[in-house]
Chains A and B, each alone.
Chain A
Amino acid sequence: MEKIYSRTLTIQENKVSGFCPGCMHSTVIKLIGEAIDELGVIDKSVAITGIGCCGLHMDYIAYDNITAPHGRACAVATGIKRTSPDSLVFTYQGDGDFASIGLAESVSAANRGENFTVIFINNGIYGMTGGQMAPTTLLGMKATTAPKGRNAEEHGYPMHVCELLDQLTAPHYLERVSCNTPQNVIKTKNAIKKAFKYQLEGKGFSLVEIVTSCPTNWGLDPLDALDFIEQKMLPEYPLGVVRDKK
């Protein structure tokens, strides 16, 4: 019998996911693994994981990993890629990590056109610390540090990372995708693979923003969280290619 699907090589054997039910980190980590497998670059892949739920990434994977201080993944990636240019280097960061505490490191690395890839997980909230407001939290969305919901007068507006980086000249490829439907999962994998290919071709900075759910801190069951993405998150964060220099 022809084998058409098997365990992703880059996922460690005998590991049970510690992510919450409905969390899409496990989906994205598997997609990264599939992209690495298919590109045949396991032996040169390096992940720089941020702090927060994104940091749990390291427990499940078989490629090299370094944990960056909160927000500094793009600086750490700069140091690795500049001195080990043949490695496939990518950061894996949540919205608090990339867009709040790490905004200076993130924007500066993008502005330098560093030749690595950012996998940016946008679920509009801090997960590991228990549901605090993120730069990406929607207006009206409740968070433990915005108990009445985010309001523009006090907290400003949700931050659009792809569009923000689109103001810079250097970035090569910016796309926003989601994992809320099977079709979108496939598009997410294609975007990750495209970003990795661009890096291997030396094209410079790429970022894939993935709109995901956090059922636990959104206070929704996993299926309702999918609806929330469709009805609330995607109107604020429209999917699609923001920039592709090809």
Chain B
Amino acid sequence: MARKLMKGCEAIAEAAVRAGCRFFAGYPITPQNEIPEYFARRLPEVGGVFVQGESEVASVNMVYGAAAAGTRSMTSSSSPGIALKSEGISYCAAARIPMVYANISRGGPGVGAIQPAQQDYFQATKASGNGGFEMLVLAPSTVQEAVDLTYAAFDYADRDRNPVLLLADGVIGTMMEPVELPPMKTDEEVAAIKASKSGWACIGHKLDYANRSWIAPGQWDTAIMQKQNEEAAAVYASWKKDLQVEEYQIEDAEVVIAAYGICARIGKSVVDICRAAGKKVGLIRPITVHPFPYSSFDKINYDVCKAVLDVEMSIPAQLVQDVELGVKGRCPIETCLCSGGNIMSREAVLEAVDAILAK
């Protein structure tokens, strides 16, 4: 299939349209403006609806409504805007409404820097809103992977009736790469997906006291509320089968780099450079950062591994806490960090690797 040169944000939006997304609401914030702008042009061409919300809060709630009406729906933002969306995301999770959203993350906290960063890891993976709900969180390291994961995200969301988060960063969102786009779902397929939700979708039903659509992000009855949380927890527990991870040359590695997103891509190039020079370096790259592929760290040969090197664009380090849970004290963990909108340099990672090997 022909490959097309596309900017990350636009590729994500096109992948969503091809997956059958027919509603998008969003609010301007850098570095993800190309996502709403693309949807504004593209959705009317396919009979979809784009709304520029008056805020991130309004936008996510428009998506809550559209998705509750059975339409594949999406929103996107960047770090401070994602924080504002947490209310609506929590409601979607509580009411079991499938939707997809993307965080093209930037430096933080606060308004932070508009340049790329990975400062939202805890927020994305541990608590994207009140109430202890969980989501599949997908972290692409190339534009192609962003396309593929966005396309798959809508299926995951519908399967689980739960939000799915695409955790990218400003590099993935703004760089251009050649991509192979997935097939466009036909109008019939899109209509069939919507029709499959008509039983619970909030669109009006024949008079039937027992079987109206009741989208309930909360319950008065504490027993029902607990049952609702138990059912959600069972869905979260089923995600072990959905774990995605890249394990790259770790069997004999004396240093294993642990990184996700753009840092993992830089880390992988470091592995290749080191291997060419005869240095035994490997990489563990979580693609699903929630759930986290802890078991990949069991495949490290701790008899030869001197340290795991956590590489992330976050200060303080955040991913490192999940790495610790994977390593379980079997070797030291070092960090190579940058923040504030500075992009990780290959040289810094190479230096950190060499420092460990020299020990």
Contact = CB atoms under 8 A, between A and B. Distances in A.
Q: Which bracket fits the contact residues of A? A: 35 or more
A105 B59 CA distance: 10
B61 A72 contact: yes
Given A75-B58, A75-B65, A79-B65, A9 B212 contact: no
B61 A65 contact: no
Interface string A59-78: 10111111111001001111
Contacts of A64: 202-205, 212-215
Given A67-B218, A77-B65, A79-B67, A104 B203 contact: no
A75 B91 CA distance: 13
A65 B212 contact: yes
B207 A65 contact: no
Contacts of A83: 22-23, 49, 65-66, 69-71, 73
Contacts of B215: 64-67
A13 B210 CA distance: 11
A64 B200 CA distance: 9
Interface in B178-215: 201-209, 212-215
B58 A42 contact: no
A76 B202 CA distance: 11
Interface in B25-51: 25, 49, 51
A88 interface: yes
A106 to B, nearest CB: 10
Interface centre among A13, A66, A79, A108 (most CB of B within 10 A): A79
A166 B204 CA distance: 30
B64 interface: yes
B256 to A, nearest CB: 43
A31 B264 CA distance: 60
A75 to B, nearest CB: 4
B157 interface: no
Contacts of B71: 83-84
B203 to A, nearest CB: 4
Interface in A1-44: 9-10, 12-13, 41-44
Interface in B276-307: none
A83 B62 CA distance: 10
A69 B61 contact: yes
A59 B219 CA distance: 11
B61 A79 contact: yes
A195 interface: no
B87 interface: yes
A139 to B, nearest CB: 30
Nearest to B65: A79
A88 B204 contact: yes
B58 to A, nearest CB: 4
Contacts of A105: 54, 57-58, 61
Contacts of A78: 25, 51, 58, 62, 65
Interface size class of B (residues with CB under 8 A): 35 or more
Contacts of A77: 65
B88 A43 contact: no
A69 B91 contact: yes
A79 B62 contact: yes
A46 interface: yes
Nearest to B194: A83
A119 interface: no
Contacts of B73: 79, 83
A21 to B, nearest CB: 20
A72 B51 contact: no
A145 B209 CA distance: 40
Contact of A79 (B69, B208, B216): B69
Contacts of A88: 204
A42 B209 CA distance: 11
A62 to B, nearest CB: 5
B219 to A, nearest CB: 10
Contact of B58 (A10, A45, A72): A72
Contacts of B95: 66-67
Nearest to A74: B58
A47 to B, nearest CB: 9
A9 B207 contact: yes
Given A63-B204, A108-B54, A76 B65 contact: yes
B88 A72 contact: yes
Nearest to A55: B218
B216 A44 contact: no
A65 B204 contact: no
B53 interface: yes
A84 B208 CA distance: 20
B97 to A, nearest CB: 9
22 contacts: A41-B204, A42-B207, A43-B204, A43-B205, A46-B204, A59-B220, A62-B212, A64-B203, A64-B205, A65-B214, A66-B68, A66-B213, A67-B216, A68-B91, A75-B62, A76-B62, A82-B23, A82-B62, A84-B69, A84-B71, A87-B203, A105-B61
Interface of A: 9-10, 12-13, 41-46, 48, 58-59, 61-69, 72, 75-80, 82-84, 87-88, 104-105, 108
Given A61-B212, A84-B71, A87-B204, 13 more contacts: A42-B204, A45-B204, A63-B204, A64-B214, A65-B214, A67-B217, A78-B62, A79-B61, A80-B65, A80-B66, A84-B203, A105-B57, A108-B53
